[in-house]
C-alpha cells in the first residue's frame, strides 16, 4: 500500500509541534581552512617539461619505509616535503601503525620521525614531522580546479625503484567511499603510494592512493585540497605513542619473520610480506600448549581468498610447526619442518563446503596423543596420524602478501562449543542444509538443452525462490541480533545504581556490527585510564589530573574531531572512535568521561548544547571548567559555549544552566544522530532500525510518544501504514501529558480511512 501524499507532511508537523529533542545534527565546527600560499613564480611561469618537473621535485621526494619489530624490512612507499620546517605528506597506509619509520630524502639523508603530525583515516592521508629544517617544499595547488584532461606527472618509488617519473592525464573524478578521488591515466605500482601528483606548473594536485584493479595504466589519487585541513588543524601524535598504540602485547605474542602485525581491541591484523620463505611470518603465543589432548582455535578473515593465514601448532622456537589454514578457497594442513620449501610437507589440500569465502571462518584443531583433527566452522576437514612434530608452541601465521584479521585465539584442554539448534528449530528454518547438490549427467544436460525454453524458465524460477529464501533468512538473522542488542541496551540503561555508559555506547555500535566484541574495548578504556593514573602522584589535584588526561588522549594519542567526514556513521560508534581516534563531539565526550571515571576523576559530566556536545568538570566548591573535546580538549568559557549553542538553536542558550546529560540522554542523542545520518544518506527504510531503538530506550511515556510519532512518519514513508497506525494508536491509548492528542487522533482517523 502506498503512503498517502498528505501523511508524511502531517506527521512532520506533529514532530515539529511536539518539540522533540532529536539530538541536533550539526556539521563540524571548524574554520574554513586557509589555502596555503603557492609559489607565485610557479603560478606565472610557463608549463614545465617532464624533465624540468622531475628535477624540481626530486629534492622534495622521500622514501618512507617501515620496519618490523625484529628489524626486518617492511613496506616501502613515497612521501614529499610540504613544509620546509619538517613536514612530509604521504598516505596513511604507507605509515601503518605499530612500526618504526624511516624517511630518506633523495640526497641520501635519513631524517628521524618525531611525530605523526596529522592524519585522516578516511582520506588515507598522513603528515609526518621529521627532525629537519630548510627542506625543499612542494607548493599545494587547488585540486578542485584541475580539469579533466590536464597533463600531470607522478613521482615515487614503484617496486622500490626510487625517484621514478611517469606522465599522464587526469582522466576523471570518481567518488569512492564518500571522497571525490582523482582518476589518473598512468601506471601506478606498489611503492608509488603517498607520492605527489604534480601539474605542469609544479604544484601538487593529488597524493597517489591506490592502484586500479582493472588495468595497470589507471590509478587514483587523493585530492591535495584534503591535506589543507590537516595543516590548518593537526592532531599530532608523538612517534613513540603512535608505535605503541597499535602494538601487540609483548607479554602475549612473539613475532617471527616480520610482516606488519598490529592489534585492535579483540583483533589482530596483519599485512605485508613476511621475510620467511614464501612470505611466511607467524606469531607464537607466549604461553605453551598443555600436553595432549588439547584444543586451539581462532577465527580468521582474509582480504583476498588467494592468500593464506591460519593456525600453527606443535611448534618450536624456530621454523618447525604444523599449519592449518585456508589458501585459495581450500583448506590445507602442512608440516613445516624447516625454513624452506624443501622441508615442507603438505599433508592435504581439500575444498570444504563449510568454508565461507570472504567471511569470518573458525579454525579449530584438536591434538590427541596419536592423531590431529582439524575443523572449519565445526566441520571436520582433516584427520592425520602424522607425528613428526611435537613441540609446545602454538600461534597464528600468514603467507605471501596476505592481509588478514584474526580474533578469538584460544588454547586449552577442551574449548567450549555452542550447543546445536534443536531439530525442530532446524526444520522450521528450512532443514539442516545437508540436502545433496543437484548432480546432472551428460544425458541430463542434453535433455535440458533439447527443451531450452522450459529449462530456462524452471531455473529462473528456482533461482528466484532461493534468493527470496536467502533474503528471508538474512532478515531473520538481523532481527534476532537487533532484538538481542535492544534488550541488552534497555537492561543496561535500567540497571540499578546507574548504567555503564561505555558499555551502553558499545551496544549501540554492536547494533550495526554483529561481530563486535564489547569486552576488549572496555579493557582498552581501562588501559587508557591506567596509563593516565600512572602520570600523576597520589595527592594530585583534580586540575592536574584533568590536564594529564587531556594530554594523553588528544596530544599523545591523537583523538580528534572528524573533519570532512562528519556524517559518517563510524563517528557515532564508540568502537570505531577508539580504533580510528576520530569521532563526533558526543562520542569523544563519552570516551573522555569514561576514561576519566575509570581513572578516578570525579564530577565530569556531559553538557548537551544544541548542535554540539561539551564536557564539564564541576567539583563541589571548586572551579568549573568546560572542555571542547571535538577541538583537542581545549578549555572554553561559558560565553563561548553559549555562542556555539545559540548559533545552532537560533535562540539564546545559557550553557551554565543546562543540566548534566544522563547516560540515557546521551544514548538517545547518539541514536538520533545515527537515525538522521542514515535517513539523509540511505533513506527512511534504512533509518528505521534506529527509530525502533529510540522507542525502546525512551524511558518514559512522553519521550516514547515523541519517538513513536517519528517512527510512524518513517513507517508511512516505507509503505507500512499498519505500523504507522499502531504507533499512533499507542499514543492515543497511553495519553501521555504534553502530546497534542487531538491532532494525533485526526491523523490516525485519516490514515485509518485510507
Q: How confident is the model at residue 74 (pLDDT cuts 50, 70, 90)?
A: low
3 state DSSP class of 191 = coil
Between 505 and 430, the more confident residue is 505
Cell of 480: 534476532
pLDDT at residue 366 is higher than 90 = yes
Cross-strand bridge partners of residue 626: 616, 636
What would the pLDDT profile of 90-145 be if each residue is shown by its tens digit? 999 888 776 788 899 988 999 999 999 999 888 889 999 999 999 999 999 999 99
Q: CA 234, CA 245: separation in Å to the nearest integer?
A: 18
Which of the residue ranges 229-233, 492-496, 672-676 would you say has the lowest mean pLDDT? 229-233
3 state DSSP class of 295 = strand
Topology agreement, domain 40-232 and domain 244-412: no
pLDDT at residue 449 is higher than 80 = yes
pLDDT at res. 102? 87
Between 98 and 298, the more confident residue is 298
Of 269-273, 508-512, 740-744, the range with the highest mean pLDDT is 508-512
pLDDT at residue 559 is higher than 70 = yes
Mean per-residue pLDDT for 692-709? 94
Mean per-residue pLDDT for 210-223? 68
What would the pLDDT profile of 158-214 be if each residue is shown by its tens digit? 555 566 788 889 999 988 877 889 998 877 665 678 999 999 999 999 999 865 444
Cβ within 8 Å of residue 39, ≥6 positions away: 139, 202, 203
Please count the other Cβ atoms lying within 10 Å of the Cβ belonging to residue 403: 17
pLDDT at res. 717? 92
Cross-strand bridge partners of residue 220: 183, 210
pLDDT > 70 in the chain, percent:
88
Mean per-residue pLDDT for 288-315? 94
Ramachandran quadrant class, 633 (left: phi over 0; alpha: psi -120 to 50; beta: rest): left
CATH of the domain spanning 40-232: 2.40.10.120
Contact call for residues 432 and 426 (beta carbons, < 8 A)? yes
Cβ within 8 Å of residue 398, ≥6 positions away: 259, 270, 274, 279, 280, 281, 282, 307, 308, 309, 404
pLDDT at residue 432 is higher than 80 = no
What would the pLDDT profile of 582-627 be if each residue is shown by its tens digit? 999 999 999 999 999 999 999 999 999 999 999 999 998 888 999 9
Q: How confident is the model at residue 395 (pLDDT cuts 50, 70, 90)?
A: very high
Which of the residue ranges 94-103, 226-235, 309-318 would you say has the lowest mean pLDDT? 94-103
Contact call for residues 80 and 61 (beta carbons, < 8 A)? yes
Mean per-residue pLDDT for 392-416? 92
In DSSP notation, 164-205 reads EEEEEEEEEEEEETTEEEEEEES---TT-TT-EEEETTS-EE
Mean per-residue pLDDT for 661-681? 95
pLDDT at res. 191? 61
Q: How confident is the model at residue 436 (pLDDT cuts 50, 70, 90)?
A: very low
Residue 593's nearest CA partner among 535, 546, 625, 558 is: 546
Q: How confident is the model at residue 437 (pLDDT cuts 50, 70, 90)?
A: very low
Q: How confident is the model at residue 8 (pLDDT cuts 50, 70, 90)?
A: low
Mean per-residue pLDDT for 231-242? 88
pLDDT at res. 519? 95
Q: CA 549, CA 533: separation in Å to the nearest integer?
A: 9
pLDDT at res. 703? 94
Mean per-residue pLDDT for 654-670? 95
Give the distance from CA 469 to its chain's centroid.
31
Contact call for residues 402 and 309 (beta carbons, < 8 A)? yes
Cell of 506: 558499545
pLDDT at residue 698 is higher than 90 = yes
pLDDT at res. 334? 96
Mean per-residue pLDDT for 24-44? 46
pLDDT at res. 318? 83
pLDDT at res. 5? 53
pLDDT at res. 69? 40
Q: How confident is the model at residue 75 (pLDDT cuts 50, 70, 90)?
A: low
pLDDT at res. 41? 43
pLDDT at res. 423? 78
pLDDT at residue 550 is higher than 80 = yes
pLDDT at res. 546? 94
**Average pLDDT of the chain?**
87
Cell of 30: 571548524
Ramachandran quadrant class, 258 (left: phi over 0; alpha: psi -120 to 50; beta: rest): left
The beta-strand segments (E) located in 212-280 are 219-223, 237-238, 253-256, 258-264, 267-274
Q: What are phi and psi of 105, to 5 degrees?
A: -80, 170
| Torsion over CA: 187, 192, 196, 202 (sign) | negative
Contact call for residues 391 and 321 (beta carbons, < 8 A)? yes
pLDDT at residue 3 is higher than 80 = no
Which of the residue ranges 180-194, 466-480, 613-627, 693-707 would you say has the lowest mean pLDDT? 180-194
pLDDT at residue 416 is higher than 90 = no
Cβ within 8 Å of residue 614, ≥6 positions away: 585, 589, 606, 607, 626, 627, 628, 629, 636, 641, 655
Q: Which fold has domain 490-660?
A: C8orf32 fold (3.10.620)
**Class (C level, CATH) for 244-412:** mainly beta
Between 667 and 31, the more confident residue is 667
Q: What is the pTM of this model?
A: 0.83
Cell of 107: 640526497
Contact call for residues 79 and 86 (beta carbons, < 8 A)? no
Domain boundaries, the chain: 6-25+683-753, 40-232, 244-412, 490-660
Q: How confident is the model at residue 20 (pLDDT cuts 50, 70, 90)?
A: very low
Q: CA 234, CA 118: separation in Å to the nearest integer?
A: 5
Amino acid at each position: 500500500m502506498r503512503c498517502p501524499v498528505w501523511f508524511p507532511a502531517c506527521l512532520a508537523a506533529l514532530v515539529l509541534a511536539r518539540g522533540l529533542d532529536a539530538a541536533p545534527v550539526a556539521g563540524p565546527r571548524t574554520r574554513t581552512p586557509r589555502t596555503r600560499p603557492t609559489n607565485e613564480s610557479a603560478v606565472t611561469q610557463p608549463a614545465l617539461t617532464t624533465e624540468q618537473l622531475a628535477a624540481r621535485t626530486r629534492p622534495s621526494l622521500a622514501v618512507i619505509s617501515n620496519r618490523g619489530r625484529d628489524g626486518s624490512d617492511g613496506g616501502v612507499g613515497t612521501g614529499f616535503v610540504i613544509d620546509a620546517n619538517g613536514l612530509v605528506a604521504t598516505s596513511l597506509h604507507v605509515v601503518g601503525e605499530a612500526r618504526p619509520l624511516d624517511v630518506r630524502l633523495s640526497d641520501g639523508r635519513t631524517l628521524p620521525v618525531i611525530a605523526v603530525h596529522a592524519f585522516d583515516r578516511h582520506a588515507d592521508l598522513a603528515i609526518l614531522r621529521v627532525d629537519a629544517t630548510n627542506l625543499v617544499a612542494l607548493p599545494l595547488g587547488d585540486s578542485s580546479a584541475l580539469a579533466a584532461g590536464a597533463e600531470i606527472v607522478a613521482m615515487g618509488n614503484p617496486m622500490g625503484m626510487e625517484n621514478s617519473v611517469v606522465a599522464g592525464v587526469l582522466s576523471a573524478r570518481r567518488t569512492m567511499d564518500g571522497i571525490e578521488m582523482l582518476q589518473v591515466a598512468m601506471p601506478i605500482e606498489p611503492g608509488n603510494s603517498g607520492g605527489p601528483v604534480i601539474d605542469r606548473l609544479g604544484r601538487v594536485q593529488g597524493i597517489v592512493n591506490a592502484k586500479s584493479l582493472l588495468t595497470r595504466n589507471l590509478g587514483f589519487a587523493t585530492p591535495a585540497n584534503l591535506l589543507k585541513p590537516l595543516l590548518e588543524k593537526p592532531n599530532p601524535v608523538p612517534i613513540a605513542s603512535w608505535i605503541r598504540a597499535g602494538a601487540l602485547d609483548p607479554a602475549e605474542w612473539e613475532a617471527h619473520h616480520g610482516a606488519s602485525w598490529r592489534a585492535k581491541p579483540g583483533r589482530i591484523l596483519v599485512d605485508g610480506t613476511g621475510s620467511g620463505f614464501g612470505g611466511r611470518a607467524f606469531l607464537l603465543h607466549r604461553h605453551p600448549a598443555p600436553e595432549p589432548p588439547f584444543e586451539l582455535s581462532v577465527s580468521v578473515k582474509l582480504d583476498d581468498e588467494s592468500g593464506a593465514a591460519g593456525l600453527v601448532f606443535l611448534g618450536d622456537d624456530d621454523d618447525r610447526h604444523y599449519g592449518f589454514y585456508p589458501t585459495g578457497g581450500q583448506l590445507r594442513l602442512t608440516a613445516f619442518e624447516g625454513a624452506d620449501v624443501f622441508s615442507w610437507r603438505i599433508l592435504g589440500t581439500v575444498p570444504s563446503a563449510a568454508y565461507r569465502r570472504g567471511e569470518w571462518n573458525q579454525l579449530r584443531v584438536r591434538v590427541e596423543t596419536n592423531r590431529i583433527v582439524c575443523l572449519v566452522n565445526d566441520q571436520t576437514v582433516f584427520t592425520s596420524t602424522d607425528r613428526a612434530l611435537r613441540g609446545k608452541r602454538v600461534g597464528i601465521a600468514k603467507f605471501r602478501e596476505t592481509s588478514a584479521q584474526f580474533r578469538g585465539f584460544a588454547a586449552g584442554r577442551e574449548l567450549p562449543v555452542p550447543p546445536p539448534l534443536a531439530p525442530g528449530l532446524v526444520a522450521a528454518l528450512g532443514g539442516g542444509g545437508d540436502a545433496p547438490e543437484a548432480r546432472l549427467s551428460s544425458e541430463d544436460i542434453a535433455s535440458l538443452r533439447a527443451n531450452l525454453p522450459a529449462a530456462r524458465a524452471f531455473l529462473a524460477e528456482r533461482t528466484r525462490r532461493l534468493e527470496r529464501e536467502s533474503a528471508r533468512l538474512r532478515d531473520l538473522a538481523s532481527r534476532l541480533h537487533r532484538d538481542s542488542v535492544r534488550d541488552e541496551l534497555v537492561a543496561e540503561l535500567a540497571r540499578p545504581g546507574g548504567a555503564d555508559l561505555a558499555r551502553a555506547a558499545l551496544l549501540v555500535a554492536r547494533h550495526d556490527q554483529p561481530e563486535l566484541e564489547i569486552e576488549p574495548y572496555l579493557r582498552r578504556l581501562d588501559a587508557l585510564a591506567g596509563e593516565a593514573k600512572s602520570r600523576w602522584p597520589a595527592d594530585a589535584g583534580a586540575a592536574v589530573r584533568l590536564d594529564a588526561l587531556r594530554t594523553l588522549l588528544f596530544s599523545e594519542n591523537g583523538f580528534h574531531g572528524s573533519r570532512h567526514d562528519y556524517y559518517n556513521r563510524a563517528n557515532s560508534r564508540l568502537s570505531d572512535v577508539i580504533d580510528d581516534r576520530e569521532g563526533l563531539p558526543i562520542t569523544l565526550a563519552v570516551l573522555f568521561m569514561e576514561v576519566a571515571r575509570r581513572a578516578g576523576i570525579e564530577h565530569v559530566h556531559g553538557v548537551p548544547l544544541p548542535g554540539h556536545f561539551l564536557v564539564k568538570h564541576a567539583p563541589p566548591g571548586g572551579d568549573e571548567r568546560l572542555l571542547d573535546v571535538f577541538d583537542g580538549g581545549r578549555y572554553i568559557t561559558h560565553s563561548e559555549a553559549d555562542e556555539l549553542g545559540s548559533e545552532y538553536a537560533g535562540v539564546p542558550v545559557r550553557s551554565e544552566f543546562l543540566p548534566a546529560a544522563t547516560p540515557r540522554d546521551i544514548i538517545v542523542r547518539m541514536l538520533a544522530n545515527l537515525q538522521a545520518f542514515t535517513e539523509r544518506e540511505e533513506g527512511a527504510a534504512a533509518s528505521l532500525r534506529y527509530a525502533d531503538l529510540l522507542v525502546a530506550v525512551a524511558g518514559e511515556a512522553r519521550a516514547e510518544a515523541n519517538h513513536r510519532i517519528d517512527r510512524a512518519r518513517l513507517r508511512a514513508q516505507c509503505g507500512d501504514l499498519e505500523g504507522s497506525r499502531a504507533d499512533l494508536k499507542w499514543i492515543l491509548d497511553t495519553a501521555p501529558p504534553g502530546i497534542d492528542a487531538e491532532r494525533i487522533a485526526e491523523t490516525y482517523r485519516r490514515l485509518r480511512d485510507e
